[in-house]
């Protein structure tokens, strides 16, 4: 019987892997924008265009526009580009001469909100310091900590529930455990999985749109969530969970045909439920998608059956027999190997190696998870030794210790869902106004991250009149002194508007010196500090 179960699982997995999957990287990053951040425009822009490095979903996103005074300019709903799903655009009204901040929020293909801001100026009037406007706008759009906490809790519950579902089906189809008892375990765990996922579905809409608790049951938000890949995966999990519960509620009946249907649904749920986790996370948007999806699904299955099996052995005394414990112990050794192997390979693929493993929250969580799994392996070895020494009489205490660390692993795993495997930083530009004597230098660096950044320097006296300056240069150095000063020449692109490109090689606090030459015989030095991520 168990061989038939494994054969059915294998066939179902092949069918799922044949389904198409999107290819992208984890978390979108803004590549380009129109207007370019820091640009000075002669007239109001016809549209605001944001171009990301991967496909984004705009149904739950927005672009908000603010003037230098912080007043919001009303914009229509953001639209995805018809030809390129990585581009979103919005048509603003005619803008008066002023400095503006466009704050954006879109949903990356793996379901996580991506937010940032660009700045631009219309006309040649006095330039305003937009740092406070940017900070206030980004804080206003940030998801509340209560929503994030609720999502983390529901993810944890869903991981415990799917572990119990997978383990109960594993025991039900692979052993001679009492059918009614395992049916009850599957139905209770399946119900918990369906309910927790339903809450996750609603909370995802709030998190993605940056809305309030009043939007948790907003029909338009629910409809928009269902149009996303993550929403589809969560909805599929809800349907399969409750289908499993409804069908297994009649498994105890004697009709042979119904029992065959119940077994088919159980195998179907055993295969598809882990894939709903894979399609709702980083794996579905990485490349090669089929491999990363399969690895995560197998990882969820292995760790779910392992941890769920421990929970069942602890709380259901009737299955803690010598035969069943020995049966599970042999298979647990294979499951542990699967957990380690799939976890390592998946991490290498998602993180592009282990070079930055200690620099991201995902990498740090992965290190913690590996350490806790190591402790679980020690506990598992003790369980096996005690079992062979004295049977099942002294197992419960050690099983409790092992599952305690297993629950920590599930908690870390649920937290890793919300973290990016690769280092991503906000594209909100660094913007500041520096004053020396009677000359103001407005400096913008976008984006403030490792790699190439664009620097804009706009020079004007306090009264706003544009007396031409001769040249502008910039100098960059790490505040720690570990990198010598790097010189950068800026080119004039407009009246007292200079642009250049800088290559930041390391993250950290960088000292920025701007040298303005009003004429051939004088220089004005401005200094500031920018944090590069």
CA 330 – CA 144 distance, rounded (Å): 46
Question: What is the secondary structure of 139-163 as a DSSP string?
Answer: HHHSPPHHHHHHHHHHHHHHHHHHH
* Joined tokens for residue 507: 């993250």
pLDDT of residue 163 exceeding 90, the answer is yes
pLDDT digits (tens, 9 = 90+) for 166-178: 999 998 888 777 7
Q: Which of 14-23, 261-270, 356-365, 383-392 has the lowest mean pLDDT?
A: 14-23
Write down the pLDDT at residue 421.
Answer: 65
pLDDT digits (tens, 9 = 90+) for 15-73: 433 333 333 344 567 777 888 776 778 889 999 998 887 778 777 788 889 988 888 89
Coil/strand/helix, residue 363: helix
Domain 2-24+144-416 CATH assignment equals 1.20.1630? yes
Average pLDDT over every residue of 375-401: 76
Write down the pLDDT at residue 274.
Answer: 93
pLDDT digits (tens, 9 = 90+) for 317-373: 777 788 888 888 888 888 888 888 887 787 777 776 666 666 677 778 888 888 888
pLDDT of residue 14 exceeding 60, the answer is no
pLDDT of residue 463 exceeding 50, the answer is no
Pairing of strands 497-504, 451-460: antiparallel
CA 413 – CA 312 distance, rounded (Å): 21
Which DSSP letter does residue 282 get? Answer: G
Write down the pLDDT at residue 19.
Answer: 39
The per-residue pLDDT of the chain, averaged, comes to 78
Write down the pLDDT at residue 10.
Answer: 44
Q: Which of 272-276, 279-283, 447-451 has the lowest mean pLDDT?
A: 279-283
Same fold, 2-24+144-416 and 429-533: no
Write down the pLDDT at residue 33.
Answer: 82
Domain 28-139 CATH assignment equals 2.60.120.10? no
**For the chain, domain boundaries:** 2-24+144-416, 28-139, 429-533
**Topology of domain 429-533, CATH:** Immunoglobulin-like (2.60.40)
Q: Which of 13-17, 74-78, 140-144, 208-212 has the lowest mean pLDDT?
A: 13-17
Question: What is the secondary structure of 289-338 as a DSSP string?
Answer: HHHHHHHHHHHHHHHHHHHHHHHHHHH-GGG--HHHHHHHHHHHHHHHHH
* Joined tokens for residue 395: 């197992």
Q: What percent of the chain has pLDDT over 90?
A: 12
CA 339 – CA 300 distance, rounded (Å): 8
Decide if 6 contacts 414 (C-beta within 8 A): no
């Amino acid at each position: 019987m168990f061989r038939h179960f494994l054969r059915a699982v294998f066939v179902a997995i092949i069918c799922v892997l044949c389904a198409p999957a999107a290819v992208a990287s984890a978390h979108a990053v803004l590549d380009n924008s129109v207007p370019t951040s820091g640009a000075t425009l002669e007239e109001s822009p016809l549209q605001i265009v944001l171009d990301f490095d991967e496909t984004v979903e705009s149904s739950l996103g927005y672009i908000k526009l603010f003037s230098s005074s912080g007043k919001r300019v009303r914009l229509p709903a953001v639209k995805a580009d018809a030809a390129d799903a990585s581009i979103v655009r919005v048509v603003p009204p005619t803008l008066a001469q002023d400095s503006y901040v466009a704050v954006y929020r879109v949903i990356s293909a793996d379901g996580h909100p991506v937010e940032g801001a660009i700045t631009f100026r219309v006309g040649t009037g006095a330039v305003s310091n937009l740092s406070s406007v940017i900070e206030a706008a980004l804080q206003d759009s940030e998801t509340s900590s209560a929503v994030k906490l609720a999502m983390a809790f529901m993810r944890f519950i869903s991981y415990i529930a799917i572990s119990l579902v997978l383990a109960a089906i594993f025991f039900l189809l692979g052993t001679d455990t009492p059918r009614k008892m395992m049916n009850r375990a599957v139905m209770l765990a399946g119900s918990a999985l369906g309910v927790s996922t339903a809450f996750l579905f609603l909370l995802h809409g709030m998190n993605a749109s940056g809305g309030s608790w009043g939007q948790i049951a907003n029909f338009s938000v629910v409809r928009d969530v269902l149009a996303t890949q993550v929403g589809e995966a969560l909805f599929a999990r809800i349907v399969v969970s409750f289908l499993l519960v409804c069908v297994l509620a009649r498994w105890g009946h004697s009709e042979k045909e119904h029992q065959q249907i119940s077994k088919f649904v159980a195998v179907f749920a055993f295969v598809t439920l882990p894939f709903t986790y894979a399609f709702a996370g980083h794996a579905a948007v990485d490349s090669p998608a089929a491999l990363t999806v399969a690895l995560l699904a197998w990882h969820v299955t292995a760790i779910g059956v392992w941890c769920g099996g421990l929970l069942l052995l602890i709380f259901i005394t009737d299955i803690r027999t010598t035969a069943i414990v020995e049966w599970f112990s042999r298979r647990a050794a294979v499951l542990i190997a699967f957990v380690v192997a799939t976890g390592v390979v998946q991490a290498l693929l998602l993180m592009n190696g282990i070079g930055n493993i200690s620099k991201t929250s995902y990498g740090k969580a992965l290190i913690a998870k590996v350490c806790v799994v190591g402790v679980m392996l020690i506990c598992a070895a003790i369980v096996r030794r005690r079992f062979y020494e004295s049977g099942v009489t002294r197992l419960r205490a050690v099983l409790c210790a092992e599952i305690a660390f297993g629950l920590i692993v599930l908690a870390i795993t649920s937290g890793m869902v919300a973290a990016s495997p690769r280092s991503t930083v906000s594209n909100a530009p660094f913007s500041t106004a520096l004053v020396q004597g009677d000359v103001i230098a407005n400096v913008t660096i976008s984006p403030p991250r490792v790699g190439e950044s664009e620097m804009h320097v706009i020079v004007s006296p306090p009264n706003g009149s544009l007396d031409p300056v001769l040249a502008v240069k910039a100098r960059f150095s790490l505040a720690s002194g570990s990198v010598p000063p790097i010189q950068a020449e800026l080119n004039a692109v407009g009246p007292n508007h200079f642009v250049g490109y800088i290559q930041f090689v390391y993250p950290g606090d960088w000292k920025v010196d701007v040298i303005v030459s009003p004429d051939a015989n004088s220089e004005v030095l401005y200094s500031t500090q920018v944090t590069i991520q």
